[in-house]
């Protein structure tokens, strides 16, 4: 359990530290622009962090199941990879949202 908590903290802490560094840079701007930048970077960090945690959880469930399925019936390899790919897509969607927030 401690290992899982440590991994989750690492996934959450690095983007938030990056956001804090950018928040300090944002204070050089006017106060309204700085507040917008602060929330922008924090929401980017949260969207990427939570989507990566969700993708990791989904992969931890679908990966072993697809491996067990392929071990029993190798002809189902393509179908199982679709489910694993959909689980990986969760992280990509979070990254996409972060880029949209960044350029918006």
Task: Provide the residue-wise pLDDT of the chain in tens; the chain has 104 residues.
Answer: 567 767 766 666 766 766 666 666 656 656 767 777 778 888 898 899 899 999 999 999 999 999 999 999 999 999 999 989 998 899 999 999 999 998 87
Asked if 84 contacts 59 with a C-beta cutoff of 8 angstroms, the reply is yes
Domains and CATH numbers, the chain: 2-103 (1.20.20)
Q: Distance between CA 2 and CA 81 in Å, rounded?
A: 30
- pLDDT for position 39: 83
Give the number of other Cβ atoms within 10 Å of residue 24's Cβ.
Answer: 11
Q: Which two tokens stand for residue 7?
A: 């991994």
Interaxial angle between packed helices 2-26 and 31-72, expressed in degrees from 0 to 180 and rounded to the nearest 10: 150
Quote the CA–CA distance of 26 and 20 in Å, as a whole number: 10
């Amino acid at each position: 359990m401690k290992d899982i908590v440590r991994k989750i903290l690492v996934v959450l802490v690095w983007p938030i530290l990056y956001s804090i560094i950018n928040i300090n840079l944002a204070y050089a701007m006017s106060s309204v622009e700085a507040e917008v930048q602060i929330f922008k970077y924090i929401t980017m960090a949260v969207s990427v962090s939570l989507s990566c945690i969700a993708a990791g959880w989904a992969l931890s469930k679908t990966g072993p199941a697809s491996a067990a399925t392929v071990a029993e019936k190798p002809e189902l390899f393509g179908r199982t990879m679709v489910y694993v790919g959909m689980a990986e897509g969760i992280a990509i969607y979070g990254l996409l949202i972060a880029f949209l927030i960044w350029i918006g």
